[in-house]
Structures are given as C-alpha cells and as structure tokens.
Structure 1
Amino acid sequence: MHTYYFTLSLNYEQCRQLYLPENNAVVILEEQGKRIQIPTKNLRPFVSQTGLKGRFRLLINNDKKLVSLDKMS
C-alpha cells in the first residue's frame, strides 16, 4: 500500500473541466514530487461552490489501484 499527500486549489470555473467527457483523469504532483494520475470521478465529490481546495491523502494498493481518497483539511 502506498500513501500520497497533495494539495489542490482550483476555483469553481477550473473545476468545470473535471466534468467534460474528454477529461477522464488529472495528473497531480504529490508532496514528494511524484506525478500521479487520478480519475476525475474521484475528485468530483470534493467540489463545492467555491471550487476544490484542500490537502488530500491518496491510498493506492500494490496493483496501482486507488483504494481511497480523503480530504485532510
């Protein structure tokens, strides 16, 4: 199991890109500098009227499958 932390700060207009059919994944840069691809469907529950802001914890199993994505703050 691998744990990664990252911070996002997107306004509401930027978050609209998460809902476009051609955008099915985003690449984030986690705190240690590793690039990780996350399906947009996993970020959508965290979008609010102000956008998508906060620090997140991502758990990935040894088969590189997403186990959980949690907002820390």
Structure 2
Amino acid sequence: MQTFYFTLSLKYELCEQLYRPGINTVVMQADNGKRIQLPVKNLRPHVSPIGIKGRFRLVIDNSNKIKSFEKIA
C-alpha cells in the first residue's frame, strides 16, 4: 500500500466544475511531487460552501485501487 498527502484549497466556483458532465477525474500533485489522477466522486463529499480546503490523505493498494481518501485536517 502507498499513502499520499495533499493540501487542497479550491474556491467554491472552481468546485462547481466537479459536477459538470464529462469531467470524471482530476489530477493533483501530492506533497512528495507525484501527480495523482483521482475520480471526482472522491472530492465531491468534501465540497462546502467555501469550496474545498484542508489536508487530505489518499491510500491506494498495490493495484493502484483507492482504499481511502479522507480529510485529516
């Protein structure tokens, strides 16, 4: 298993794009510099009236399947 950490700060207006048809994934850069492609369905639960803001942890298995994506701070 691998663990990646992200700091996200997106305004609500930008988060609206997560709900547009045809947008299924986003690419984010982890703290270690690695670029990670993540399905938008994992980000949607974290959208608030101010957008998305905080620290997140992504855990993937050896087959690159998402085990968890959670806000940690």
TM-score grouping bracket, smaller chain normalisation: over 0.9
* TM-score, reference length from structure 2: 0.98
Q: Aligned-pair distance for 1:29?
A: 0.1
Whole-angstrom CA distance in 2 between matches of 1:21 and 1:64: 25
Counterpart residue number, 1:59: 59
Superposed, 1:1-73 pairs within 5 Å as 1-73=1-73
2:27 corresponds to which letter in structure 1? V
What's the secondary structure of 1:14's corresponding residue?
helix
Number of residue-to-residue matches in the alignment: 73
1:15-53 C-alpha deviation (Å, 9 max, x unpaired): 001111111000000000000000000100000001001
- Which consecutive segments of 4 or more residues in structure 1 shift more than 3 A? none
* TM-score, reference length from structure 1: 0.98
Whole-angstrom CA distance in 2 between matches of 1:61 and 1:21: 28
Contiguous gaps of at least 5 residues in structure 2: none
Contiguous gaps of at least 5 residues in structure 1: none
Give identity over the alignment, percent.
59
- RMSD of aligned alpha carbons: 0.5
Q: Aligned-pair distance for 1:11?
A: 0.6
1:44 corresponds to which letter in structure 2? R
Whole-angstrom CA distance in 2 between matches of 1:53 and 1:21: 23
